[in-house]
Amino acid sequence: MKNIIPKLLLLIISLCSAQAGVFTISGVYQGKNLYVQNPFTGNLKDFCTEDVFVNDVKVMSNIKSSAYEIDLSHLKMNDPVDIKITHKDDCKPKVLNPQVIRVNSAFQFISFNVDAESLSWVTKGEKTNGKVFIEQFLNNSWLAVKEIPGKGSATINNYSLEEIHHSGLNKYRVKYLEKDGQVFYSKVVEFTSSKQPVAFYPKRVTSKVTLTRAVPFEVIDSYGNSVKKGSGMEIDMSDLKEGVYYLNFDNRTEKVLKK
């Protein structure tokens, strides 16, 4: 029994370390896929790669070949790309064409911070006539909630905007668009707001919906069409036909019936 326990411990350690490696590469989708060289592990029987993730979504697993292609065609042009490859610890996959998601530019985000009062970030290497978009994760997708002109300095550019938080957990990123079409994304920053959730009434509407504080809103019909957008404490629905509608506000969706 004494001899079995050490052997079991060695087996557990071996199994845990067999998938210890993680290889990452980031960039911007530019219409091309990545190709990866996948060597054998030390035992010369198994291949190195375990799983492949694209933007935190697993897209490949248990790969049994010496080379493979990571399909990125589901992305849109200039979308951010984060590749994570988990692999055995005695080998390492090699991306053969990393340049296809890299862009040639001096631009970079130096920092990006969010607090209860503001969003602030610093860049360098900007070109003239660039544009800056503040994107917020709302209703399960990234939306541009603010657009401002870039400052255009090749040295240091400081930005600050008043907060635009909804209640609860907020997610932000900054997108920088150069005049020639190259796109850069900051890291994603999260901030949990102490604001009270927005309430509304009534759920059976004749003329208007009232919100407990002024926020951006959108009205969606039962076919998924956006029929009204705005910002404030009241949503005028008097001009809409009878039926079911969905209200997007404060990063959630509520159902109402227009009578």
pLDDT tens per residue, range 225-243: 999 999 999 999 999 999 9
Answering whether pTM is above 0.75, one says no
Same-domain pairing of 189 and 210:
no
CB atoms within 10 A of CB 1: 4
Q: Tell me the C-alpha distance between 67 and 10, whole Å.
A: 31
Give me the number of domains the chain comprises: 3
Question: What is the largest distance, in Å, between two alpha-carbon atoms of the chain?
Answer: 81
Report the CATH number that the domain containing residue 148 is assigned in CATH: 2.60.40.10
Per-residue pLDDT reduced to its tens digit, 61-106: 989 999 999 999 999 887 889 999 999 999 999 999 998 987 667 8
Under 8 Å between Cβ of 198 and 212 = yes
Per-residue pLDDT reduced to its tens digit, 162-190: 999 999 999 999 999 998 788 899 999 99
Enclosing domain of residue 221? 200-258
Q: Tell me the C-alpha distance between 48 and 171, whole Å.
A: 35
Asked whether residue 2 is assigned to any structural domain, the reply reads: no
Asked whether residue 7 is assigned to any structural domain, the reply reads: no
Per-residue pLDDT reduced to its tens digit, 107-126: 999 999 999 999 999 999 99
Same-domain pairing of 116 and 92:
no
Last residue of a domain, one of 143, 174, 193: 193
Under 8 Å between Cβ of 188 and 172 = yes
Asked whether residue 6 is assigned to any structural domain, the reply reads: no
Higher pLDDT, 132 or 79: 132
